[in-house]
C-alpha cells in the first residue's frame, strides 16, 4: 500500500534527451485496481454462507456414527477454512497490491513514459485454496476408491496448481506471469486425468450407483474448477476484469464448489450405503483399545 501512496504523490518527471529544450513529461496517473463497495459486500455475504454451511456440516457429522463420519469431517473442514479466508478478505486483511509497470515509447524526441498499475490481490484466497482444494480432492478420491499413490499425486499436483497460480498473480513481468500460469494449468491437467481415468475406473468397479454419483459430482467439480483459471486469466492475468467483478465470479464458484458440493455429497452419501467408509480401530475407538494401539519394537520371537 505504501507503493500506491508514493505513486499518487508523484507529479511530474523531467527527461533530458540531449542538447536543446528539455521536454517535460507529465506522467499518467497510476491506475489503482481495488475492491469497491460491491466487492466488500459480496465478501461478507459469502463469509456468512460459509459459516452457516460449516455449522450445518458439523451438525451432520455429530449425528453420524464416528465410523462413518470421515466425509462429514472433511467437508466441514473445507467450509471452515473458507469461512476464515472470507472473513480475512471481508475485514480488509488477507490482501496486498501488486505493482505492474507498462512502458510506452514515443516518437519525435519525446521521452519514453510508463504507466503504473497497482492491483489488489487477495492472497488469503490462495491460502484457502491450497488447503480446501486438496480436501475436496480427498472427498472425491475416497468416493471413487482411488489408491493411496494416486491420491498423493493428485494432492501434490493440486498444491502445485495453487502455488504457481499465486506466484503468477504477483509476477511483474508478463512472460513470467504466463509461465507460472502454464505450470498451474499443467498441474490441473494431472488432477483431471487422475479423477477422470483411474478415478472413474475405480468407481465403476464398485457398483453402478456409486459410479453414477461419482461421475455426476466429479463432472460438476471439474467444470467449476475449469472456470477458475478462466477467471484468473481475465482478472489477475490480463487485468481485463475489475476486482469487484473478479470477487463476484470467485464468490459464485466458491459457493458452488464448497457448500453446494458438500450438501450434495453428504446428503447423497447418507442415502447411499455403498459409499460408506467404515473406519474402525484408532479412528473409531482411540488408542485405548488393543486393535487401535501402535506396537513399536515387537518381534515374533519375543526377543
- pLDDT for the residue numbered 207: 84
Longest dimension (CA), the chain: 98
Structure confidence at residue 208 (pLDDT): 87
Check: CB of residue 49 under 8 Å from CB of residue 255: yes
What 3-state class would DSSP assign to 156? Answer: helix
C-alpha cell at 201: 475406473
CA-CA distance, 154 to 157, in Å (whole number)?
5
C-alpha–C-alpha distance, residues 98 and 96, integer Å? 7
| Torsion angles phi and psi, residue 298, rounded to 5 | -75, 150
Intervals of the chain under pLDDT 70: 1-27, 103-113, 274, 278-285, 287-303
Determine the Cα–Cα distance for residues 94 and 131; give it in Å rounded to an integer.
15
Place of cell 494416486: 150
CA triple 170-176-179, angle to 5 deg: 110
What's the rounded Cα separation, in Å, for the pair 71 and 78? 11
| pLDDT given at position 27 | 62
Q: Note the pLDDT of residue 293.
A: 46
Quote the CA–CA distance of 58 and 56 in Å, as a whole number. 5
Q: Per-residue pLDDT tens for 162-207?
A: 999 999 999 987 789 999 999 999 999 999 999 999 999 999 888 8
What is the pLDDT, as a whole number, of residue 55? Answer: 97
Amino acid at each position: 500500500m505504501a507503493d500506491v501512496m508514493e505513486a499518487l504523490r508523484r507529479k511530474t518527471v523531467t527527461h533530458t534527451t540531449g542538447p536543446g529544450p528539455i521536454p517535460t513529461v507529465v506522467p499518467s496517473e497510476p491506475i489503482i485496481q481495488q475492491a469497491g463497495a460491491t466487492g466488500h459486500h459480496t465478501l461478507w455475504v459469502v463469509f456468512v454462507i460459509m459459516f452457516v454451511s460449516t455449522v450445518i456440516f458439523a451438525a451432520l457429522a455429530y449425528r453420524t456414527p464416528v465410523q462413518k463420519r470421515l466425509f462429514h469431517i472433511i467437508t466441514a473442514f473445507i467450509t471452515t477454512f473458507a469461512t476464515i479466508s472470507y472473513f480475512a478478505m471481508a475485514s480488509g486483511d488477507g490482501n496486498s497490491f501488486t505493482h505492474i509497470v507498462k512502458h510506452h515509447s514515443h516518437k519525435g524526441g519525446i521521452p519514453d513514459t510508463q504507466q503504473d498499475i497497482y492491483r489488489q490481490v487477495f492472497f488469503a484466497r490462495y491460502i484457502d485454496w491450497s488447503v480446501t482444494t486438496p480436501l475436496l480432492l480427498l472427498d472425491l478420491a475416497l468416493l471413487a476408491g482411488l489408491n493411496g499413490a494416486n491420491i498423493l499425486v493428485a494432492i501434490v499436483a493440486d498444491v502445485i496448481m495453487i502455488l504457481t497460480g499465486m506466484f503468477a498473480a504477483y509476477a511483474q513481468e508478463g512472460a513470467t506471469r504466463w509461465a507460472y500460469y502454464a505450470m498451474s494449468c499443467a498441474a490441473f491437467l494431472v488432477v483431471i486425468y487422475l479423477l477422470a481415468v483411474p478415478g472413474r475406473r475405480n468407481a465403476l468397479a464398485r457398483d453402478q450407483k456409486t459410479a453414477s454419483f461419482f461421475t455426476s459430482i466429479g463432472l460438476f467439480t471439474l467444470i467449476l474448477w475449469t472456470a477458475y483459471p478462466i477467471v484468473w486469466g481475465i482478472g489477475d492475468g490480463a487485468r481485463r476484469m475489475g476486482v469487484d467483478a473478479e470477487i463476484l465470479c470467485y464468490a459464485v464458484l466458491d459457493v458452488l464448489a464448497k457448500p453446494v458440493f458438500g450438501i450434495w455429497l453428504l446428503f447423497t452419501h447418507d442415502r447411499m450405503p455403498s459409499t460408506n467408509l467404515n473406519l474402525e480401530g484408532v479412528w473409531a475407538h482411540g488408542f485405548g483399545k488393543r486393535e487401535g494401539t501402535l506396537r513399536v519394537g515387537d518381534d515374533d520371537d519375543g526377543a
